[in-house]
Amino acid sequence: MLIFTFLFSCYATIALSQVVKEQARVITPFDQDWSFNQGDVQGAEKADFDQTKWRKLNVPHDWSIEGTYDKANLTARGGGYLPSGIGWYRKSFNLDESFAKKKVTIEFDGVMANSEVWINGFYLGKRPYGYISFTYDLSKHLKFGKGKTNVIAVKADNTVQPASRYYTGAGIYRHVRLVATDAVHIADWGVYVTTPDVTTQKATVKVKTNLINESAQSTQVTVETAVLDPAGKIVKTAQSKQTIAAGKNINVDQDIVVTNPKLWNLESPDLYKTLTKITVNGKVIDDQLNTFGIRAFKFDAAIGFWLNGENFKLKGACLHHDGGAVGAAVPLSVWKFRLERLKEVGVNAIRTAHNPVAPEFLDLCDQLGFLVMDETFDTWNSAKNNGEKGYNRFFTEWWERDTRDMVMRDRNHPSIIIYSVGNEIHDDLNSPEGFKKYEDQQDLIHLLDPSRPVTMALFRPANSKVYTNGFAETMDVVGQNYRENELVALHNQKPNLKVIGTENTHVIQQYLALRDNPFMAGQFLWTGFDYLGEADWPQITNGQGLFDRIGSWKQQSLQRQSWWSEKPVVHIVRREDNAGAGAWINNWTPTDFDTYDDAKVAIYSNCEEVELFLNGKSLGSKPKPTDDSPRLWDVTFEKGSIKAVGKNKGKIVSSEELKTAGVPAKIILSVDKNKISNSWDDVAFVTAKIYDENGNICPNADQLIKFTISGSGIIDAVDNGNITSHEMYKATQRHAYQGVCMANIKGNMPGTVEIKASADGLESGAIKLEVGNK
């Protein structure tokens, strides 16, 4: 029989046994023991189909990332030249007789794309948009009891290509759950929590609960909602009695006042919870736990963004949904690693470019203290890149349903401060039809979630006329990609408009547009990490990120840290002679050090004064420029070391030293954490770096590094961040790039894992880590 894990809704994973005695809603992860077959398998939807030759696996799963790069692949530049087509998934399961009187649904967090679902051969429906979460009611088509087997079948059809401007992945690439409730129950995403009145002394928590009665008779229920503080202690409870007629649904509104609340903010992202219990005659028939934060924010036309009475800039980055070597099926620890690296730069906000993200990504933003622009679509009706066959084919029929599902799923996250309904939309916005498309979407979001404003990323406003035809005035906040001077000019002409940069490059002029204009609420850099696709062969990755696919620092992340970080920063970079103007690399000398005599050295620093030393000899000090531009030196090359020292008020507060690299001699392994859990979402990042005999990194080393593993783990993927590398990710070896490559390690049972890395002519490296229980 299927064994259920008892959790309490909205993907919460904390134990509240001291609070919850009844456990009515039954949720089980449904990720294990699927079968997969790539191709258009006739009859695969039938319950009795023979699948003995199918591959056994667990989801989330992205089969496209398992393939090989090929310029001829139909996904083309948008999909990163990885394979497309049809993939089938099937899962068999049993249900106890006790579930025969329950409403049983299946929840998918995302299936890429054009998914179709069957239960025991019965067709449940189709969902074209691969990024959206959705549910199906299985109740009327299930078998219950001993020996009664149920079969769920899912078809993911990615044959129509190119389907996107960037990598989508393919398959059931996000989590799946089976949910059992009473016939009278809380609706999908049916608890909506807001905090409209907030001070440090007290806050009003408004809870709206949507209940559905799918039974054949009228039912009187009691709705009890408890607010739990960040420590899990109940601070206040409200009760309401309601009668729900058969086949109807109702909304129950409750206001709960919390005294001396801990406010959610970037430094202390304290999270509260609501525990909602539905009882009939004293028996709990449904319950749900929802996470929220107590905070107040606003966008102001004159002074930008405010959170809890504090005015500051949104220092944002755009992120696509892929995780590099893992493709679209991204373990949560990959996102945690990436968000923590962005926080080191000074990033405090994320734009979900350009589609709904996995719900656990938003959970992580809540927990780490990031603000979020939650985005729906990259296209409306008009395609991009002339040949794209993506969401534009489905917008008219599906935009309302997809927008509704995203907003209702996401609206309790305190990290979300604004919604975006489009990115560089090519539909005619200088027409009544264009106005209506935007207003319809904005109106729907206001209906579902009146607590947040709406924007979109406008594209070339001078051409689209949106700044002169009244379109901008219809927007809650005016968002624009690039061309910051046009956005600044708009506000100067119409100072009542609220404005934000929705997509921005790394150059100093765009940085200054944010720094020097109080009305500019923020900007979102393109992008936080390099992402798969949107690249011309032989490149397979767009390389505009602050970090590459494996999280290596780049010139733009070093410079951005000197602009956005609160801590003292000093970084040394050198212009490469053949790399073109503005191309800098952060090492002192490659192994071919004798090929040049002079070096152009730039220091990225926020310190008041920086002094540069070459082999211990001072090359002079320079003050911080008023425009925060880098401090430049022309340096005659010498083997040895170069060191930059940053000072504030005459005191050394930061420094960096780079040394000449010798001949590659050895591999040294490091890992981001010493213990992982035996969970799909937990990954350890083992980094292999090539050093010379003196312990200096060799930035030109490109040897093939072979990884081996023993004990309680597997090598899930390998990568090096090189945007032109066509090596496979699901492998055990990878060439080093700039002296570095990485292996993602997962646990498969409790115990110890040992990872070794070797390469011809180099001393091998090894490291161990522990694997615990889930």
* Run of H or E including 406: helix 395-410
More confident residue, 396 or 639: 396
Catalytically annotated residue among 503, 534, 609, 611: 503
Side-chain half-sphere of 174: how many Cα atoms within 13 Å?
A: 23
Q: Where are the beta strands (DSSP E) in 320-405?
A: 349-352, 371-375
Is the bond preceding residue 688 a cis peptide, omega within 30 degrees? Answer: no
List the single range of 49-58, 134-143, 327-336, 420-429 with lowest mean pLDDT.
Answer: 49-58
More confident residue, 585 or 27: 27
Task: Write b or e for each residue in 585-624: b if 16 or more Cβ atoms lie within 10 A of its Cβ, otherwise e.
Answer: ebbbbbbeeeeeeebebbbbbbbebbbbbbeeeebeebeb
Q: Sort strands 478-481 and 454-458 into parallel, antiparallel or unpaired.
A: parallel
CA–CA dist 225, 150 (Å, integer) = 36
* Run of H or E including 193: strand 184-198
What are φ and ψ of residue 340, in 5° steps? -65, -35
Q: What is the pLDDT of residues 684-735, one digit of tens each?
A: 999 999 999 999 999 999 999 999 999 999 999 999 999 999 999 999 999 9
What are φ and ψ of residue 337, in 5° steps? -60, -45
List the single range of 101-115, 573-587, 737-751 with lowest mean pLDDT.
Answer: 573-587
| Sole residue written with tokens 């929220």 | 292
Task: Write b or e for each residue in 9-21: b if 16 or more Cβ atoms lie within 10 A of its Cβ, otherwise e.
Answer: bbbbeeeeeeebe
Tell me which residue of 35, 38, 40, 39 sits closest to 52, measured CA to CA: 35
| DSSP-derived secondary structure letter, 400 | H
Q: In what order do the strands lie in the sheet with 219-228?
A: 234-244, 219-228, 272-280, 283-292
List all residues 6 or more positions away from 176 whose beta carbon is below 8 Å from its beta carbon.
Answer: 29, 30, 31, 59, 106, 107, 108, 109
Tell me which residue of 462, 516, 456, 508 sits closest to 480, measured CA to CA: 456
CA–CA dist 716, 488 (Å, integer) = 47
List 622's β-bridge partners, or say none: 610
Residue 638 in this model has a pLDDT that exceeds 90: no
Q: What is the pLDDT of residues 618-637, one digit of tens each?
A: 999 999 999 999 999 999 88
pLDDT, position 575: 67
What three-state secondary structure class fits 86?
strand
Domains of the chain: 31-181 (2.60.120.260), 184-292 (2.60.40.10), 314-562 (3.20.20.80), 567-659 (2.60.40.10), 666-772 (2.60.40.10)
* Run of H or E including 191: strand 184-198
Residue 213 in this model has a pLDDT that exceeds 70: yes
List all residues 6 or more positions away from 467 whose beta carbon is below 8 Å from its beta carbon.
Answer: 461, 486, 490
Residue 764 in this model has a pLDDT that exceeds 80: yes
Side-chain half-sphere of 616: how many Cα atoms within 13 Å?
A: 0
Q: What is the 3-state secondary structure (H, E, C) of 564-616?
A: HCCCCCEEEEEECCCCCCCCEECCCCCCCHHHCCEEEEEEEECCCEEEEEECC
Question: Dihedral (C-alpha) 716, 720, 721, 723: value to the nearest 10 degrees?
Answer: -110
503 is annotated as an active-site residue: yes
Tell me which residue of 679, 683, 719, 677 sits closest to 175, measured CA to CA: 679
Instruction: Determine how many CB atoms are found less than 10 A away from the CB of residue 189.
Output: 23
pLDDT, position 598: 73
C-alpha distances in Å from residue 685, one per residue of 182, 550, 672:
43, 9, 6
Average pLDDT over residues 65-74: 97
Amino acid at 437: K
What are φ and ψ of residue 758, in 5° steps? -135, 155
Q: Sort strands 349-352 and 371-375 into parallel, antiparallel or unpaired.
A: parallel
pLDDT, position 232: 95
What's the alpha-carbon Rg for the chain, to the nearest Å? Answer: 27
What three-state secondary structure class fits 473?
helix
Average pLDDT over residues 564-590: 63
List all residues 6 or more positions away from 99 whose beta carbon is below 8 Å from its beta carbon.
Answer: 142, 144, 180
Residue 197 in this model has a pLDDT that exceeds 70: yes
Q: What is the pLDDT of residues 654-665, one digit of tens each?
A: 999 999 899 999
Give 47's pLDDT tier (boundaries 50, 70, 90). confident
pLDDT, position 22: 42
List 111's β-bridge partners, or say none: none
CA–CA dist 145, 222 (Å, integer) = 32
| Sole residue written with tokens 């690693």 | 337
- Listing DSSP states for 264-294 in one string gives B-SS-B--EEEEEEEEETTEEEEEEEEEE--
Average pLDDT over residues 369-393: 93
Residue 585 in this model has a pLDDT that exceeds 60: no
The pTM assigned to this predicted structure is 0.94
Average pLDDT over residues 435-447: 98
CA–CA dist 559, 715 (Å, integer) = 34
Q: How many helices (H) and strands (E) are present in the chain, helices listed first? A: 8, 47
Q: Are 327 and 229 in contact (CB under 8 A)?
A: no
Give 593's pLDDT tier (boundaries 50, 70, 90). very low
Average pLDDT over residues 662-670: 97
| DSSP-derived secondary structure letter, 559 | H
CA–CA dist 137, 160 (Å, integer) = 28
User: By percentage, how much of the chain surpasses pLDDT 90?
Assistant: 89
CA–CA dist 574, 576 (Å, integer) = 6
Amino acid at 97: E
CA–CA dist 657, 236 (Å, integer) = 55
Average pLDDT over residues 331-349: 98
List the single range of 15-19, 166-170, 176-180, 231-235 with lowest mean pLDDT.
Answer: 15-19
Side-chain half-sphere of 161: how many Cα atoms within 13 Å?
A: 24
Give 597's pLDDT tier (boundaries 50, 70, 90). low
Q: Are 689 and 740 in contact (CB under 8 A)?
A: yes
Q: What is the 3-state secondary structure (H, E, C) of 205-232?
A: EEEEEEEEECCCCCEEEEEEEEEECCCC
| DSSP-derived secondary structure letter, 472 | G
Residue 23 in this model has a pLDDT that exceeds 90: no
Q: What is the pLDDT of residues 115-166, one digit of tens each?
A: 999 999 999 999 999 999 999 999 999 999 999 999 999 999 999 999 999 9
Q: Sort strands 122-127 and 34-38 into parallel, antiparallel or unpaired.
A: unpaired
424 is annotated as an active-site residue: yes
Q: For all residues of the chain together, what is the average pLDDT?
A: 93
pLDDT, position 291: 98
pLDDT, position 18: 34
How many residues are there in the chain?
Answer: 774
Tell me which residue of 630, 511, 607 sits closest to 501, measured CA to CA: 511
Average pLDDT over residues 485-507: 97
Average pLDDT over residues 223-236: 97
Tell me which residue of 354, 418, 441 sits closest to 391, measured CA to CA: 354
Tell me which residue of 385, 392, 373 sits closest to 437, measured CA to CA: 392
pLDDT, position 19: 36
List all residues 6 or more positions away from 8 whose beta carbon is below 8 Å from its beta carbon.
Answer: 16, 20, 23, 25, 27, 275, 287, 288, 289
pLDDT, position 385: 78
Token pair for 157? 């059809």
Tell me which residue of 386, 344, 398 sits closest to 130, measured CA to CA: 398
Catalytically annotated residue among 360, 424, 534, 770: 424
Instruction: Determine how many CB atoms are found less than 10 A away from the CB of residue 654.
Output: 18
Residue 78 in this model has a pLDDT that exceeds 80: yes
Instruction: Determine how many CB atoms are found less than 10 A away from the CB of residue 282.
Output: 7
